[in-house]
Amino acid sequence: MDGARATVGLMYAACLGFACLTLALSSRTPSTLAVFLADVVLVLLTGLVPSAGVGALERVLALFPINFANFSVLFSALESYPLGPAVLDLVGMVLLVYAALVLVSTPVAVVSFRRRQVA
């Protein structure tokens, strides 16, 4: 049951990250179609990209929601991400990436929407 809770928590973090990214993109672009296409490509089409055994590509693709959503793959992937002296597993890296996405996208959206606000 702990693995299922971890998967739900990671998917929640991914949803928050993509929501903040969507807000930032919609605040910067005049077209809603561009925002929709960016989200579809990042969420759905990354699962269709073949990695062909390339290590770096496999590590990057493993960070997208459609690839780590599978409960058994999440804990058996044996992916490691070295960051200086620290080495993170897939779960830690997913949390780090989506936390960074939230922390970067939110201020961009706030500043951009503030400039658009009609008094």
Q: Which two tokens stand for residue 14?
A: 């991914």
- Predicted confidence at residue 55, as pLDDT, reads 77
Give the three-state DSSP class for 59: helix
| pLDDT tens column, 9-38 | 888 999 999 999 999 999 888 888 999 999
pLDDT of 6 higher than 60: yes
- Predicted confidence at residue 59, as pLDDT, reads 84
Phi-psi region of 8 (alpha: psi -120 to 50; beta: other; left: phi over 0): alpha
- Predicted confidence at residue 1, as pLDDT, reads 45
Calculate the alpha carbon distances from 99 to 28, 53, 96, 107, 111 in Å: 21, 28, 5, 13, 19
| pLDDT tens column, 27-82 | 888 888 999 999 898 888 887 877 777 778 888 888 888 877 776 777 777 788 99
Per the confidence metrics, is the pTM higher than 0.75?
Answer: yes
| pLDDT tens column, 86-111 | 999 888 899 999 999 999 999 999 99
Phi-psi region of 90 (alpha: psi -120 to 50; beta: other; left: phi over 0): alpha
pLDDT of 117 higher than 60: no
Task: Report the chain's mean pLDDT, rounded to a whole number.
Answer: 84
